[in-house]
C-alpha cells in the first residue's frame, strides 16, 4: 500500500485477478457439497425406481437407508446390484 492508502500496482493486479473468479474458495466447497447431495438424491431415486420396477419388497428402514445415503459412489454400487439381486437386503447388504 502507498502512503495514501492506495494499493500498489502489483497488489491491485492480484486483487483484481482474485475478484474476477466467479466463486470464492468457501463457495466452491459449498457448491461441491450441494452438487454431491443433489447427485446422491438423483441416484437414490433411480435405485428406488429399479427396486420398484422389479417388484422387490422394501422396508421403511431400507428405504430410509437408501434415501439417507449421501455417497453417490455407494449408491451406484447398489444400483448395479439392484439389477440382479433377489432382495433389497442383497442390494444394500
The per-residue pLDDT for range 29-80, each reduced to its tens digit, is 766 777 778 888 999 999 999 999 999 999 999 999 999 999 999 999 999 9
| Structural domain for 81, as ranges | 9-92
Q: How far apart are the C-alpha atoms of 93 and 86, rounded to whole Å?
A: 12
**Residue 19 domain-assigned (yes or no):** yes
In this prediction, residue 34 carries a pLDDT of 75
Q: What is the longest distance spanned by two Cα atoms in the chain?
A: 76
pLDDT at 10: 85
Q: For the chain, where are the E strands, in sequence order? A: none
Task: Provide the pLDDT for residue 79.
Answer: 96
C-alpha dihedral over 82, 64, 30, 42, to 10 degrees? 40
CA dist., res. 18 & res. 13, Å (int) = 9
Instruction: Answer whether residue 1 is part of any domain.
Output: no
| Res. 20: pLDDT tops 70 | no
How many domains, in total, are found in the chain?
1
pTM of the predicted structure, to 2 decimals? 0.65
Distance in angstroms between the alpha carbons of the first and the last residue of the chain? 61
Amino acid at each position: 500500500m502507498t502512503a495514501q492508502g492506495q494499493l500498489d500496482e502489483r497488489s491491485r493486479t492480484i486483487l483484481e485477478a482474485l475478484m474476477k473468479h466467479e466463486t470464492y474458495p468457501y463457495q466452491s466447497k459449498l457448491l461441491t457439497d450441494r452438487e454431491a447431495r443433489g447427485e446422491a438424491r438423483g441416484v437414490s431415486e433411480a435405485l428406488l425406481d429399479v427396486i420398484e420396477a422389479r417388484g422387490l419388497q422394501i422396508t421403511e428402514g431400507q428405504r430410509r437407508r437408501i434415501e439417507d445415503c449421501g455417497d453417490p459412489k455407494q449408491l451406484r454400487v447398489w444400483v448395479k446390484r439392484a439389477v440382479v439381486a433377489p432382495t433389497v437386503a442383497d442390494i444394500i447388504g
